[in-house]
Amino acid sequence: MYKKLRIVKVDSLYCDYLRKYDNKVSYNAGTKDLRPFIGVLFTIGKCEYFAPLSSPKHKSLRNTLDLIKINNGELGAVNFNNMIPVTSNNYIEFDLDKKTNEKSEMFRIELLRNQLRWLTANKKVINTKSKLLYNLYKADKLPKNVRDRCCNFPLLEEKCREYNKQKVSG
């Protein structure tokens, strides 16, 4: 049985912390200004994982071991190579029912709703692909070019525990 997929925003300070240990952790700052780090949340083993979503501008990419296009790229892609471990302390659920009059914000919310619908309809593929990549990484059985663009999942799990332990005790 699969848990419900959710669209979440990850805390930028948490991402900055993880990036100290792994430079493949994605930045959540655009060239213009800070934008929310939005992605899909799912579980691998006992750990929650966040995988960033990219925008539809990547239609020309193809599905690979570490990337899946959403609706053939019409709705963007899920970047499994950049997935990071999280706890409920590190993210907030994105409000897909938010009301706004700003056109760009309305477009973004509608895109996220459509992405979540597609991801939910394909959650078996999402879960299978994320776990396969994770397990191949841990077993050191990924092709070098794929491994080189992946976050270090075991190291980040350790740093996630440390960060959240400090946050609770500090």
Model pLDDT for residues 71-119, shown as the tens digit of each residue: 999 999 999 999 999 999 999 988 889 888 899 889 889 999 999 999 9
Structural domains of the chain ordered from first start = 6-160 (3.10.129.130)
Mean pLDDT over all residues of the chain?
Answer: 87
Please count the other Cβ atoms lying within 10 Å of the Cβ belonging to residue 61: 15
Amino acid occupying residue 133: L
What is the CA angle 115-118-121, rounded to 5? 145
Is the CA virtual torsion 58, 11, 90, 95 positive or negative? Answer: negative
pLDDT of 30 higher than 60: no
The pTM is what?
0.88
CA distance 82 to 52: 7
pLDDT of 31 higher than 90: no
